Chains A and B, each alone.
Chain A
Amino acid sequence: MKILNLHLNNFRNYRETSISFSKSINIFIGDNAQGKTNILEAIHILATTKSFRSVKYENMLKHDENSFRIECEILKNDVFKKVKINYDLKNKLFFINDKKINKISDILGIINVSILCPEDIQIIKGDSHYRRRFIDIALCQLDKVYLINLIEYQKVLRNKNAVLKYIRIGRAKERELEPWNTQIIDISREIYSRRRDFLIDLNEKNKKTSFFLSGETENIEIKYIDDVLKGQTSDVEEYIKELKIKQKRVWGEEIKRGISLFGPHRDELKIEINGKNIKHIGSQGQQRTVAISLRLAEVECMYARSGEYPILLIDDIFSELDNKRKAYFMELLNRNTQMFLTGTRVDEFPTIFNQAATFKINQGSIDDYGK
């Protein structure tokens, strides 16, 4: 799958811009805050419906505008497709070949992407929300059933929290909680087993990518610390049994505090290096390496499941990589992967600049860089 071109209208600092891409490497050069990352962000939105910078749509509007449009043409399995989003403060509408798409689940999986950016360090250092988000975005692109379960789960959870709120003010009875709890348990079964299986894959791939990056045989493991078994066993029935026990145990406290206290929204992911939490013992450099290694493992998982490498969006970090790490990306290039990279100077891309399509970004305008 390749992205052939991109059209932006009132998105971030772009008024009206069209770019044609190379099917292999695309490099965007420019000073800071000129709009390089915005291009990667636009691609990420078309692929996943979300920005990787966790911002709201309204904050991606060009100043003083109230709608934006992002559009691209892709070539997938020898078929051309047009993917488009229109946003106007009230609605976000997605289109494939100008036909409106009603379900978000029909957009995900059309374009698969993986992003490597400086913020990835949060997967290691940040709170558990960043790690859940990391696996959720990868899994949602690969597994529609997971995506739909996740959307339903969030809907059930919001409804349950509303009931809890009403119980507190005496406008609902305790028995109204039960239908939502029953659904939480049902959906948790799907979410748990899919997260568990994905993490098995991810760990296996990460062993390879991490060895490649560091050359060391450190034992890095991403542990699934689920809400009830805390990762002790990985049997679904056991998990459901414990979840039901916890549901009964926290019932009173949920009502007292007005929040949901059990379920996969409380799952944790712990990253260990030789059995110790990397958050506490890893050096800055080590943590960075693990973040990159996890991203590459994600890329390999996506390849293993879909038979195709995702499009790589590499924001700002290429210059930090040593030659060995750069070699990994070169290897991916040889395997026909399309890449989009950003940087401030040409000499950050010593070996690949000459074979890339290069663009100069300056205050929201895009020009060919020339060689």
Chain B
Amino acid sequence: MDYFSGILGRLIDELGRMPGIGPKAAQRLAFFLLRQDAAVVQQLANAMLEAKAKIRPCADCFFLAEGERCHICSDPRRDARLLCVVEDPKDVFSMERTREYRGLYHVLMGTLSPLDGIGPDDLKIAELLKRLQAGHVQEVIVATNQDVEGEATALYLNKLIKPLGIRVTRLASGLPAGGDLEYADDITISRALGGRRELE
């Protein structure tokens, strides 16, 4: 790493801060940028600056928005009776890819994780409750991850939301679709067995 100093060294350092980018990949990206026309690099820099300047959390759901509200919250065709609670803006993209869900979202910006010092006040829970008190939502779908923190968050939300008379559901856990039983790991099979349902 010490071979690179000055301007090139700084570029590699900056690139190396990005997630998933190690020292080798940072070097490769730096050399790639140096080989490009100035206009191409300018475009990239502009795109980064513009995204940073214009994209901010949606005022309602905290998903990424280019204006005051995100494109989902401002879409009148979405079903405002359904609210899906997720940990992270990335999760909204996962749900949207299915084109199955037509309701709205609420991004918590994390999960309860006392070990990391993260409690309810560090998440967008108060904002969620305020939205629910407005009265349009009939069902909250908790789509936090299936780890102990995601589960704790779901249980905590359930306690707060149930008294409001709103239905609270949790995404099912189980076998991947089209998945061969043979390739599923033991805990997945065990939980799928626990959550089995009767055939109609």
Contacts and interface: CB of A to CB of B under 8 A. Distances in A.
Interface of A: 105, 144-145, 148, 152, 155-156, 158-160, 162-163, 166, 171-173, 175-176, 178-180, 182-183
B190 interface: yes
20 contacts: A105-B185, A152-B148, A155-B148, A156-B148, A156-B152, A159-B113, A159-B148, A159-B152, A166-B119, A173-B120, A176-B156, A178-B155, A178-B156, A179-B112, A179-B151, A179-B152, A179-B153, A179-B156, A180-B114, A180-B152
Contacts of B112: 176, 179
B149 interface: yes
Contacts of B190: 145
User: Taking chain B's interface residues, is the majority helix, strand, or loop, or is none over half, making it mixed?
Assistant: helix
Given A159-B113, A159-B148, A172-B119, A182 B155 contact: yes
B159 interface: yes
Contacts of B148: 152, 155-156, 159, 183
Contacts of B114: 159-160, 162-163, 166, 172, 176, 180
A144 B190 CA distance: 10
Contacts of B200: none
B149 to A, nearest CB: 7
Interface of B: 112-115, 117, 119-120, 148-149, 151-156, 159, 185-187, 190
Contacts of A105: 185-187
A178 B149 CA distance: 13
A143 to B, nearest CB: 8
A144 B187 contact: yes
Given A158-B115, A166-B119, A176-B112, A144 B155 contact: no
A102 B190 CA distance: 20
A180 B111 CA distance: 13
Contacts of A171: 119
Contacts of A155: 148
Contacts of A182: 155
B156 A159 contact: no
B152 A175 contact: no
Contacts of A158: 115
B118 to A, nearest CB: 10
Nearest to A103: B185
A144 B185 contact: yes
A-B pairs, top 4 by smallest CB distance, nearest first, are A162-B114, A179-B155, A179-B152, A144-B186
Nearest to A159: B114
Contacts of B152: 156, 159, 179-180, 183
Nearest to A106: B185
A170 to B, nearest CB: 12
Contacts of B186: 105, 144-145, 148
A180 B112 CA distance: 10
B115 A183 contact: no
Given A144-B187, A162-B115, A176 B153 contact: no
